[in-house]
């Protein structure tokens, strides 16, 4: 909304605040309702929602966990800076979600794991790969997820309310923590489902009003190429001029910011980690009540991943057209005055559009959408962080050095405390992001994951598809890949590509080798090391291959850990039988302890033990990978459809003149 003197009125009014408060009440209400779930007190119940979820909330959670505030800010910012190219990442995700559902998930489910590092422990034996992968995931969460989400959410608050970044971060953390520590993954999935619909409603609302303001898609194509800031017209610089290939999604393989060969063959390698081997995303799919529901969730999330291109990328381009001098600022002095960053201000494209286009009252709705995006992503990250550290790191060292299996009670406490530590580390990283992201937050995320994720993706691919791969080969590949990736990452952090008006002093390894091509090279180096070392050392034990590879996922042979699970089930049934025959023994607990047990969902009563028995039987049924034939046919038909539609979209948006 613009006043008569041409100044955009960005103040929030009472109706805006009412929309925000209504949103917060809904989210907190859903989170606290999850306290009533009786299976939160079990490890599977807290960390995997008991594996009772059906396809819709799981699919909505996959989408909402991925689409954080960094997507609204980052995708719109990259659209404003460089056109539709960044939309390729979203279409790529449509396909990789199906790779998760049809190749990776059946193996994960059949192996009966809670976390992905736990899968590697079952597949290869030993603990060093499991601990290493858990630690690497936590590092990636700090660098590419928690800190980025906090920064992007705080940036929106800074634009909307003129707050300082760090008080805004603290507020966001308090709201998110309440949703995370209450009901575990069940609470996260339920709130994600609510936030999924809030994000779509708000996103469509802003997109429609933006296109009305600009005059439609055709007008945007014409006006975007003319969106050049005034200071560029009155100077000798070429900065601020839109790229000639702005309306091509996959671009020249050598001299472009999004080379098609690097994207298809290199970026896909790094993305396999995020969609198929990252705890945060896979954990949601593992919560499904069956393989069919998990695959249905992947299809649903895949279809919805077409939307960010229209809801975020194109509105970001519209923002550049409407607010050219600010969003596309073309000098260090102007950018510092506009957004406080010397490298560019395209990251303010989305909040600028929200505050400039929407009338009073609806801004609060979009403010709630941004909070929904931020909180859905952060709650998912926090829950996954808690799971990884508790199951794969704390439990291992507790048994090794404490000589004692940690209790469920202890795991619940540790799982919550580790989130606090991760948040502190992420806040400390925010100043680095402010200096590193160069005006395109989304590209920063892709670069960092491109340096650290390919080795993890490569090792998982070998583990699932090559039975001869062993622990020594996998660990050697991880170590070599980590060293090479860190060298490139340090070089990139040390020698940054300057803005248009700066001088590029980068060495050739960073200036000439695009990060996507580097990801491809790194991926294959790790695979070669893994294969060579595996062939030079002893093959894995046959027991390690039962239900841990694609080829053995339906095996009915017994593993040694199957006997441990059977023993646990027998003990649970014996406890229930004894209580049934002799009665529940008297339990003397303080009021404080009873309140804490209720909050955490810990239930050691007869009803709780009976539920645990039923839960054990349910887990066995899920791991059997049984599918209804008609459901399987329906799912496979949709798999073919989504592959064809995604491929067609790539062609339409990448070949000049087709659209």
User: Which residue from 478, 619, 443 is spatially nearest to 88, judged by alpha carbons?
Assistant: 443
Structure confidence at residue 183 (pLDDT): 46
What residues have CB less than 8 Å from 608, skipping those under 6 apart?
Answer: 38, 41
More confident call, 371 vs 567: 371
Residue with tokens 């490298």: 343
- Answer whether 344's CB lies under 8 Å from 326's CB: no
- Cα separations in angstroms, 153 against 23, 158, 267: 16, 9, 26
Q: Spell out the SS3 assignment of 248-287.
A: CCCECCCCCCCEHHHHHHHHHHHHHHHHHCCHHHHHHHHC
> 160-199, pLDDT tens digit by residue?
666 666 676 676 667 666 555 554 556 667 777 887 888 8
Output the pLDDT for position 66. 85
For residues 530 and 63, give the distance between their C-alpha atoms in angstroms, rounded to a whole number. Answer: 33
Tokens of 201: 């409603």
pLDDT tens string 324-369 = 999 998 888 888 888 777 778 888 899 889 888 888 777 877 777 7
User: Is residue 132 pLDDT above 60, yes or no?
Assistant: yes
Between residues 554 and 499, which one has the greater pLDDT?
554
614: confidence class by pLDDT, cuts 50, 70, 90: low
Q: What is the mean pLDDT of residues 554-578?
A: 58
Using pLDDT thresholds of 50, 70 and 90, give the confidence band for residue 45. very low
* Residue 526: Cβ within 10 Å count: 29
Residue 175: Cβ-neighbour burial (10 angstroms; 0-12, 13-18, 19+) = middle
Place 462 in a pLDDT band, splitting at 50, 70 and 90: very high
Residue 579: pLDDT band (50, 70, 90) is: very low
pLDDT at res. 538: 95
| Cβ contacts of 258 within 8 Å, gap of 6 or more | 82, 85, 86, 88, 249, 250, 251
pLDDT at 631: 93
Give the pLDDT of residue 44. 46
Range in 144-148, 266-270, 485-489 with the lowest mean pLDDT: 144-148
Q: Are 1 and 209 in contact (CB under 8 A)?
A: no
Work out the burial of residue 102: count CB atoms within 10 Å of its CB; fewer than 13 is exposed, 13-18 middle, 19 or more buried.
middle
Structure tokens at 174: 């308090």
**pLDDT over threshold 50, residue 1:** no
Calpha distance 630→637 (Å, rounded): 11
CA atoms 289, 292, 295, 297: torsion sign? negative
Please indicate whether residue 275 or residue 176 has the higher confidence score (pLDDT).
Answer: 275
Q: Which residue has the higher pLDDT, 646 or 27?
A: 646
pLDDT value at position 240?
85
Q: Which of 129-138, 331-340, 644-653 has the lowest mean pLDDT?
A: 331-340
pLDDT score recorded for residue 570: 43
- Percent of the chain whose pLDDT exceeds 90: 35
Is pLDDT above 90 for 601? no
Say if CB 69 and CB 233 are below 8 A apart: no
389-399 pLDDT, tens digit each: 887 888 888 88
Confidence band, pLDDT 50/70/90 cuts, at residue 51: low
Taking alpha carbons only, the member of 317, 338, 340, 82 closest to residue 207 is 317
Q: Is the dihedral of CA 640, 642, 646, 652 positive or negative?
A: positive
Alpha-carbon gap, residue 285 to 197, rounded angstroms: 19
What pLDDT, on the 0 to 100 scale, is given for residue 212?
A: 95
* Ramachandran region, residue 259 (left: φ > 0; alpha: ψ -120 to 50; beta: rest): beta
pLDDT at 656 over 90: no
Q: What is the structure's pLDDT at 179?
A: 54
Check if CATH label 1.20.1730.10 holds for domain 14-30+47-231+238-551+628-654.
Answer: yes
Structure tokens at 392: 């794969």
Nearest residue to 79 via CA among 231, 208, 213, 243: 243
**Cα(117)–Cα(391) distance, rounded to whole angstroms?**
9
- 259 pLDDT band, cuts 50/70/90, is very high
Going from N- to C-terminal start, the domains of the chain cover 14-30+47-231+238-551+628-654, 568-623
Q: Per residue in 339-373, is it b (16+ CB within 10 Å) or e — as a string?
A: bebbbbbbbbbbbbbbbbbbeeebbbbbbbbbbbb
Higher-pLDDT residue of 558 and 588 is: 558
Number of other residues whose CB lies within 10 A of the CB of residue 330: 24
Q: How far apart are CA 214 and CA 230, in angstroms?
A: 19
How many angstroms from the chain centroid is the CA of residue 380? 8
pLDDT number for residue 586 = 47
User: Given this model, what pLDDT does residue 177 score?
Assistant: 62
Dihedral sign computed on CA atoms, order 118, 120, 122, 124: negative
Calculate helix-pair angle for 629-654, 87-99, nearest 10 degrees: 160
Assess whether pLDDT exceeds 60 at residue 571. Answer: no
pLDDT at position 307, please? 95
Q: How crowded is the C-beta side of 465, counted as CA atoms within 13 Å?
A: 12
Mean pLDDT for the chain overall: 80
For the stretch 471-485, pLDDT in tens is 999 999 999 999 999
91's CB contacts (< 8 A; 6+ apart) are 249, 305, 306, 309, 646, 649, 650
**Cα first-last separation, the chain:** 32
* H helices, E strands: number in the chain: 32, 0
Q: What is the pLDDT of residue 85?
A: 93
pLDDT given at position 403: 67
pLDDT at 457 over 90: yes
Of 122-136, 146-160, 312-326, 567-581, which one has max mean pLDDT?
312-326
Least confident of 10-14, 78-82, 226-230, 356-360: 10-14
Residue 503 reports pLDDT greater than 50: yes
Ordered DSSP codes for 182-206: HHHHHHHHHHHHHHHHHHHHHHHHH
> Is the distance from CB of 287 to CB of 49 less than 8 angstroms?
yes
pLDDT band at 101 (very low <50, low <70, confident <90, very high): very high
| pLDDT for 572 | 44
Whether pLDDT at 4 is above 50: no
Q: What is the pLDDT of residue 618?
A: 55
Residue 382 in contact with residue 34, Cβ under 8 Å? Answer: no
- Does pLDDT of 317 surpass 70? yes
| Between residues 97 and 422, the one the model is more confident about | 97
With 90 as the cut, is the pLDDT of residue 127 above it?
no
């Amino acid at each position: 909304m613009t006043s008569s003197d041409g100044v955009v009125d960005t103040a929030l009014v009472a109706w805006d605040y009412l929309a925000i408060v209504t949103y917060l009440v809904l989210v907190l209400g859903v989170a606290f309702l999850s306290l009533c779930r009786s299976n939160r007190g079990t490890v599977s119940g807290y960390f995997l929602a008991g594996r009772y979820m059906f396809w819709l909330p799981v699919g909505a959670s996959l989408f909402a966990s991925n689409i954080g505030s960094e997507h609204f800010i980052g995708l719109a910012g990259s659209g404003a800076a460089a056109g539709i190219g960044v939309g390729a990442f979203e279409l790529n995700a449509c396909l990789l979600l199906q790779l998760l559902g049809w190749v990776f998930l059946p193996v994960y489910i059949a192996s009966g794991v809670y976390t992905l590092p736990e899968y590697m422990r079952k597949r290869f034996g030993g603990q060093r790969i499991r601990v290493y992968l858990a630690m690497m995931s936590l590092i990636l969460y700090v660098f590419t997820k928690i800190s980025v989400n906090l920064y992007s959410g705080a940036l929106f608050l800074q634009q909307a309310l003129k707050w300082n970044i760090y008080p805004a971060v603290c507020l966001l953390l308090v709201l998110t923590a309440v949703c995370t520590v209450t009901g575990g993954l069940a609470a996260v999935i339920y709130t994600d489902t609510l936030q999924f619909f809030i994000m779509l409603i708000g996103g469509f609302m802003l997109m429609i009003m933006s296109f009305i303001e600009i005059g439609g898609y055709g007008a945007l194509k014409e006006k975007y190429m003319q969106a050049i800031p005034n200071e560029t017209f009155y100077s000798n610089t070429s900065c601020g001029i839109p790229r000639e290939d702005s309306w091509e999604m996959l671009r020249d393989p050598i001299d472009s910011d999004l080379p098609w060969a690097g994207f298809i063959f290199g970026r896909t390698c790094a993305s396999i980690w995020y969609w198929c081997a990252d705890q945060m995303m896979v954990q949601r799919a593992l919560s499904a009540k069956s393989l069919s529901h998990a695959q249905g969730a992947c299809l649903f999330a895949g279809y919805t991943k077409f939307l960010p291109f229209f809801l975020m990328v194109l509105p970001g381009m519209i923002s550049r057209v409407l607010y050219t001098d600010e969003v596309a600022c073309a000098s260090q002095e102007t950018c510092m005055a506009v957004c406080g960053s010397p490298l560019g201000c395209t990251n303010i494209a989305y909040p600028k559009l929200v505050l400039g286009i929407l009338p009073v009252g609806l801004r609060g709705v979009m403010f709630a959408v941004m909070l929904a995006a931020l909180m859905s992503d952060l709650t998912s990250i926090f829950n996954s962080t808690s799971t990884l550290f508790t199951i794969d790191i704390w439990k291992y060292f507790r048994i090794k050095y404490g000589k004692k299996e940690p209790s469920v009670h202890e795991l619940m406490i540790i799982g919550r405390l580790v989130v606090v530590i991760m948040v502190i580390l992420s806040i400390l990283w925010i100043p680095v992001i402010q200096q590193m992201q160069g005006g395109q937050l989304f590209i920063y995320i892709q670069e960092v994951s491109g340096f650290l994720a390919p080795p993890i993706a490569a090792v998982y691919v070998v583990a699932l598809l090559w039975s001869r791969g062993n622990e020594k080969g996998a660990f050697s590949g991880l170590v070599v890949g980590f060293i090479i990736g860190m060298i490139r990452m340090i070089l990139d952090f040390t020698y940054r590509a300057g803005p248009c008006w700066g001088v590029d002093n980068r060495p050739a390894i960073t200036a000439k080798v695009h990060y996507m091509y580097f990801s491809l090279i790194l991926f294959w180096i790790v695979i070669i090391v893994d294969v060579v070392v595996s062939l030079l050392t002893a093959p894995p034990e046959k027991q390690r291959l039962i239900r841990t590879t694609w080829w053995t996922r339906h095996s009915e042979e017994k593993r040694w850990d199957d006997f441990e699970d059977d023993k646990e089930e027998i003990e649970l049934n014996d406890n229930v039988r004894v209580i049934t025959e002799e009665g529940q023994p008297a339990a003397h607990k303080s009021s404080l302890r009873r309140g804490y047990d209720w909050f955490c969902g810990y239930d050691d009563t007869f009803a709780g033990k009976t539920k645990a028995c039923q839960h054990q039987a349910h887990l066995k049924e899920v791991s059997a990978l049984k599918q209804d034939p008609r459901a399987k046919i329906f799912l496979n038909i949709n798999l073919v459809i989504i592959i064809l539609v995604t491929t067609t979209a790539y062609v339409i948006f990448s070949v000049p003149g087709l659209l």
